[in-house]
Chain A
Amino acid sequence: MDLTVLLVKGLIILVIFGITLLIATYSTYAERKVAAFLQDRLGPNRAGPFGLLQPIADAGKMFFKEDFIPAQASKWLFILGPCLAMLTALMSSAVIPFGDSIRLAWDGTNYDIPMQAIEINIGVLYIFGVVSLGVYGIMVGGWASNNKFSLLGAIRAASQNISYEIALGLSLIAILMMTGSLSLRAIVNEQATFFEWNVFTQPLGFIIFLTCAFAECNRTPFDLPECETELVGGYHTEYSSMKLGFYLFAEYINMFVSSAFISSLYFGGYHYPFMNAVHDGLTGSLGEIAGHNIATAIGTVVFFAKIFFFIFFFMWVRWTIPRFRYDQLMNLGWKSLIPLSILNVVVTGAGLLYDIKYTTWLIVVVMVVLALTSNARAPKSQAAPQRA
């Protein structure tokens, strides 16, 4: 790899880094606006037009607050906690393919530069590695605070994250079996036609993955590590200034990365229906290079639209569904999601042996039937109360 390529890569990394931070910043604004909309309020509307400068005001406020370290805390671990949380959040955006490729003509040859910071063949493994390190940030911070609420929050977070990580990993395996590659770009390219999007071939896997993504991001209904009604602030009770900001910011970056990950794994990434026709039309009318680049740009816009939809979905769920109880959370993770995802792998595998891709719909149909008849099958004494 020569220096020019490395420089271009560095530039792409810088741009994606900036976009990640920008989206995370404005997710806080979006979250408050969505919450306000769902609760019939106005939301932030003082700083700038429509309150658009609110995130910047918030960041400024965080910088000028006292950087407080409790006397009994382990000082360096206390500082390390939020740094680790932020570092793992920032590292994970690297392998997501944001678009097809930019085509540049140089000395008569065409160079295709993929719209992806780091194009490696183990993208999925990389994200898993980085995401599983994320729990250290919360664990270290909560333990170092030397506060009972923080410690409880940290232990809950660790327990919850590792439990849901198993189901997360297992639900992905079905996709890997169909694609035969760990590269995110290969997985995206596999979903070129609309009805081969993994959400149609892997409906159960998608639901499991989505649930686990919520749990991994510590978002409602799985936000037990920081649940205000029991634990004050959870693992960040003792934090202030930008250290607290890092924890909150890391959560929004994780949300963005999860949304991007879900879009590229299950919703075809930068693909959209009739994409090839649009690409051919553009290259036909505008020429090889300009047409290709514009087609790439449209794909990227579509990809971001999908990401924004999922970020909105995260918020929508947060302001709709109440929090789980801890035993319910653990039972859902261990006794429902893990067996289901193993079943999903087996059924997908059995189908793939005969080249049938849509076998997991069988499980979905069976589950829906079971759910609909569950009231009739229950013993009379334990039957669910009838709604009036």
Chain B
Amino acid sequence: MNTSYLPSDYLPVLIQLLLALGFIVTTMIVTHSVGPKRKSQKKDDPFECGIPVQGDARTPISIKYFLIAILFVLFDVEVIFLYPWAVNFKGLGLTGFIEMILFMGLLLAGFYYVIRKGVLKWE
């Protein structure tokens, strides 16, 4: 296993991307051109179990989903902070461990607040 990595070591990612893109674009073009095409007023409507369509689908939705997304950003940043610490854990030793416990404690205090505030309560 090599220990130092050059930018060119990441070139295969590009090959993989091009291969995947090629596969997807080809499939899309083929399936678009071989299938039949028949249009009609009723068929073009959005599916709503057979009853007439009521208004537009893009109406406001529950704020809960938005709050979850905001919380996700906070916690995911925490996870990303933890990654470099975890990789260097053995080098940082006890000091690093205590520092990270403090950091996580602060974050968990916020988490406790969020739970008590009822953000994660689904009715």
Contacts and interface: CB of A to CB of B under 8 A. Distances in A.
Interface string A5-42: 01001100110010000000000000000000000000
A56 B68 CA distance: 41
A149 interface: yes
A334 B120 contact: yes
Interface in B12-35: 12-13, 15-17, 19-21, 23-24, 27-28, 30-32, 34-35
User: By DSSP majority rule, is chain A's interface helix, strand, loop, or mixed?
Assistant: helix
Given A169-B76, A327-B122, A345-B82, A6 B69 contact: no
A326 B72 contact: no
Interface in A46-69: 62-68
A138 interface: no
Interface stretch (A86-94, A274-282, A374-382): A86-94
B68 A238 contact: no
B10 A120 contact: yes
B79 interface: yes
A370 interface: no
B117 interface: no
B17 A67 contact: no
Contact of A346 (B8, B68, B104): B104
B122 A331 contact: yes
B79 A148 contact: no
A79 to B, nearest CB: 7
Nearest to A63: B31
Contact of B24 (A86, A143, A346, A350): A86
Interface residues of B, number: 65
Of B9, B57, B90, most buried by chain A (CB within 10 Å of CB) is B57
B40 to A, nearest CB: 10
B46 interface: yes
User: By DSSP majority rule, is chain B's interface helix, strand, loop, or mixed?
Assistant: helix
B72 A90 contact: no
Interface stretch (A174-182, A208-216, A288-296, A313-321): A174-182
B87 interface: yes
Contacts of B31: 62-63, 65, 67, 241-243, 245
B35 A162 contact: no
**Which size class do A's interface residues fall under?**
35 or more
B61 interface: yes
Contacts of A72: 44-46, 56
A117 interface: yes
B16 A13 contact: yes
A283 interface: no
A119 interface: yes
B96 to A, nearest CB: 9
Interface in A136-152: 143, 145-152
A134 interface: no
B108 interface: yes
Contacts of B120: 330-331, 334-335
Given A63-B34, A66-B38, A327-B123, A87 B15 contact: no
A307 interface: no
Given A118-B12, A176-B86, A342-B104, A63 B30 contact: yes
A118 B23 contact: no
Interface of A: 1, 6, 9-10, 13-14, 17, 62-68, 70-73, 79, 83, 86-87, 90-91, 94, 114, 117-121, 125-126, 143, 145-152, 155, 158-159, 162-163, 165-166, 169-170, 173-174, 176-177, 180-183, 185-186, 189, 232, 237-238, 241-243, 245-246, 326-327, 330-331, 334-335, 338-339, 342, 345-346, 349-350, 352-353
Given A90-B24, A232-B47, A331-B120, 13 more contacts: A13-B15, A63-B35, A64-B35, A83-B28, A121-B5, A147-B48, A147-B57, A162-B76, A165-B72, A177-B89, A241-B35, A326-B122, A345-B86
Nearest 7 Cβ contacts at the A-B interface: A327-B122, A242-B31, A71-B44, A90-B20, A169-B79, A176-B86, A162-B72
